[in-house]
Amino acid sequence: MQCSIGNPCPSCPWLRAIRPHLDLGSRQLVQELPAVIHLFTPQQSNPLTVKMLTHLLNPQFSAEGSNRRQRENSTYTLFIKYMREAASGRRGAVNLRSILRFATGTEEEPALGFALQPSIQFMESANFLPTANTCINRMNLSLPDESNPLPLQEELLNLFDLAFCNTFFGLE
């Protein structure tokens, strides 16, 4: 038996859940073009890689050769190292999907792409705990300066762990 909007199979609870909410036009669309069903299903078959995530999270660097750019490069280099460790399973519960969820609110790239390109912004801050604004798909990484140098590598990576394991959004 073929699973469809008109005849959902027991193994497709998502299909049964959305069926009452689809208007007649959408039902006809899915019945006539079954390929659009993938827009409603999670894409867990495509593993997120470091290369994919670095392509998705577009860093907003300062001008080449500036002192700020050198500080951005040092922070970004450690962040890339962190992503490689997370991808290989050396950061405990943190994986690449955790990082994407932290920055965008979702663990996978939408089928039609992000409406707002996810980005990494570098900011001056007293601490090095990453922050994010999921409404605009922006993650903020802190920059070192003379009065506030980068912490030791393992301490910085532990701060990244704390941020990316957090599923709490907002303030109480």
Q: Tens digit of pLDDT for each residue in 63-104?
A: 999 999 999 999 999 999 999 999 999 999 999 999 999 999
Residues 17 and 66 in one domain: no
Tell whether 172 is covered by a domain. no
Residues 111 and 61 in one domain: yes
**Active-site annotation, residues:** 135
Q: Tens digit of pLDDT for each residue in 10-39?
A: 566 666 666 665 655 666 767 776 766 666
Tell whether 170 is covered by a domain. no
What's residue 171's pLDDT? Answer: 43
Give me Rg for the CA atoms of the chain. 20
Residues 160 and 91 in one domain: yes
In angstroms, the CA 6 to CA 19 distance is: 8
Residues 91 and 15 in one domain: no
Alpha helices for 19-170 (secondary structure H): 24-32, 50-56, 67-87, 96-104, 153-165
Residues 16 and 90 in one domain: no
For 82, the domain range is 50-165
Residues 68 and 104 in one domain: yes
Q: pTM for this structure?
A: 0.74
Mean pLDDT of all residues in the chain? 84
How many structural domains compose the chain?
A: 2
Burial (CB < 10 A; 0-12, 13-18, 19+), residue 56, is: buried
What's residue 99's pLDDT? Answer: 96
Residues 123 and 87 in one domain: yes
Residues 11 and 81 in one domain: no
Residues for the chain: how many in total? 172
In angstroms, the CA 35 to CA 7 distance is: 16
Residues 92 and 135 in one domain: yes
- CATH assignment at residue 158: 3.30.2410.10
What's residue 158's pLDDT? Answer: 95
Torsion angle (degrees, nearest 10) of CA 25, 29, 31, 35: -150
Tell whether 171 is covered by a domain. no
- Measure CA 41 to chain center: 18
